[in-house]
Amino acid sequence: MYRILIVDDDNDIRTLLTRFLSKNNYETDNVRSGATAIAWMRDNTPDLVLCDFRLEDMTATELLPSIREMHPNAAVIVITGYSDVKDAVEVIKLGAHDYVTKPLFPDEILVTIRQALAVANNHTEPVTEGKPTRQAAAKGFIDNAFLTGNSAQFGTIMKQVDLVAPTNFSVIIYGESGSGKEVIARQIHLKSTRADKPFIAIDCGALSRELAGSELFGHEKGAFTGAIARKTGSLELADTGTIFLDEIGNLSYDIQVSLLRVVQERKIRRVGGTKDIDIDVRIIIASNERLWDLARAGKFREDLYHRFNEFSIDVPPLRDRKKDIMLFAHYFLQLTNTELCKDVQGFEPEVKDILENYVWYGNLRELKNVIKRATLLSEGSLIGVRSLPFEIANYSRLQFDHQASADSTVAQERALGSGSFAGKLKAANIDAEYNVILEALKKAGYNKSKAARLLNVDRKTLYNKMKQFKEFDQ
Ligand SMILES: Nc1ncnc2c1ncn2[C@@H]1O[C@H](COP(=O)(O)OP(=O)(O)OP(=O)(O)O)[C@@H](O)[C@H]1O
């Protein structure tokens, strides 16, 4: 039976999740703060930690390194409100497997937990030669399908992939979190002569300082306290194949020195070992920030940068390649249909508009999560606006507000010029109400009944107001 630790300061959510997960045959424990979670983890071993992003004493970003250090094999899922999605996406870089947004839906939580546990257990299994696999610190869930985007930018990426794949060049892939760097790295591997050899993906952001060396290079028995047996490192496991090092900028300077040796001499030495081991591994690395900038700031070794910089690929954020959005949305819809045994056929035209104009801070990973949830919530044959998170459905409204305040003189002059004071008053009232309601919804964890109670209105009034915002948008 898998053991799940729930960390949330909301008593109701803890009780609800405990009851629901126990009913689904998980052993659960729950605590309310980051500090109590750390204390609990000193004496207990969770298979999975389900953790609210905003705890009373810290955020998941602060808690995650402790989880990774104490229990590197535990899967982590972060619960977040939409206003924190950008941060939640960052948490993935620190080694969380996935995030779910509030309000929570039982089926979604269950699917996410099963996938995270499947990935977490995968990395304890031996690596099968020739089969692309992931190692400790792997993130997201495995699906090996690769979609060639519709946008011109994706066309350029594919040309670069085809060009560099057959060579032995090191490659740097730049791009925001969730933009598809790892799948592109895997494509390079699959199109290379190493295709039938291992592909190992490591998230360097998820490696603790202490364990990074032994994770990458392996260790000998007795190399340090706790090294009870010899461990083969990821580089050795990837021998003859390809290793993908994501968020390379997070590796400490010492590890960078050892890595330079791998690149220059094609040799590694296990932690605590006395002899060198020859390895033949192709290295593909990824970073969110320009490595040259990191090198200039003294955070990344310049010699290592020059060694890696044989070829680089830029993956633009999803918001800059709008033509890819609906292609991926349909693909994720089909994936979810299969996963949840549903038969949702597509999207209402209005939804297409919203999806194409949203900012997608978490890029494809965020789009995938949003489509997964929308498919789950859809009762009809098409996904409608109601199945989208409130913040996404109303994003263009919020943009309008930002724009108006950023450029208030122009907006005011225009409004005065048109003489539409009545329109302005209506807009101002709706804006004010919108902000109060949004605040209440956030406070209530997007639970509409709770938000209605906070606002001292009945549920129906709240629904009508929310509907009015939507109508005002059109
Ligand atoms: N071309 C593609 N075809 C199919 N799925 C894709 C494609 N690109 C990305 N995805 C999906 O989008 C999600 C994010 O992709 P990926 O993990 O490669 O991003 P990343 O840039 O490596 O993110 P991070 O830096 O945060 O680890 C994954 O679930 C992946 O399966």
Strands 267-268 and 277-278 turn out to be antiparallel
> How buried is 34 (Cβ within 10 angstroms: 0-12 exposed, 13-18 middle, 19+ buried)?
buried
Which helix H or strand E contains 270, and what residues bound it? none
Please state, rounded to an integer, the average pLDDT across all residues of the chain.
83
Domain residue spans in the chain? 3-122, 133-315, 320-473
- Report the separation in Å between the CA atom of 317 and the middle of ligand 1, taken as the mean of its atom positions: 12
> 250 with 209: CB under 8 angstroms?
no
User: Region 80-102: what's the mean pLDDT?
Assistant: 80
Task: Name residue 231's beta-bridge partners.
Answer: 219
Q: Is the CB of 145 inside a 6 Å radius of any atom of ligand 1?
A: yes
Which two tokens mark 40? 């609990």
Mutate to test the pocket of ligand 1, among 364, 370, 371 (most ligand atoms within 8 A of CB): 364
pLDDT, tens digit, 9 for 90 and up, residues 268-288: 999 898 899 999 999 999 999
How far apart CA 120 and CA 112 sit, in angstroms, is 12
* Ligand 1 centroid distance, CA of 360 (Å): 13
The CATH class that applies to domain 3-122 reads: alpha beta
Is the distance from the beta carbon of residue 143 to the nearest atom of ligand 1 less than 6 Å? yes
Distance 114 CA to ligand 1 centre (A): 19
Check pocket membership of 144 for ligand 1, CB cut-off 6 A. no
CB 220 near ligand 1, within 6 Å: no
CATH topology of domain 320-473: Helicase, Ruva Protein; domain 3 (1.10.8)
Distance CA 93, CA 315 (A): 17
Kindly state the average pLDDT of the residues 216-223: 88
- Atom nearest to 146 CA in ligand 1: 3
pTM listed for this prediction? 0.72
For domain 133-315, the CATH superfamily is P-loop containing nucleotide triphosphate hydrolases (3.40.50.300)
Tell me the C-alpha distance between 260 and 396, whole Å.
47
Nearest CA to ligand 1 atom 10: 180
What pLDDT digit, counting tens, does each position of 304-330 carry? Answer: 999 999 999 999 999 999 999 999 999
Task: Tell me the ipTM for this assembly.
Answer: 0.98
Are the folds of 133-315 and 320-473 the same?
no
pLDDT the model gives residue 431: 61
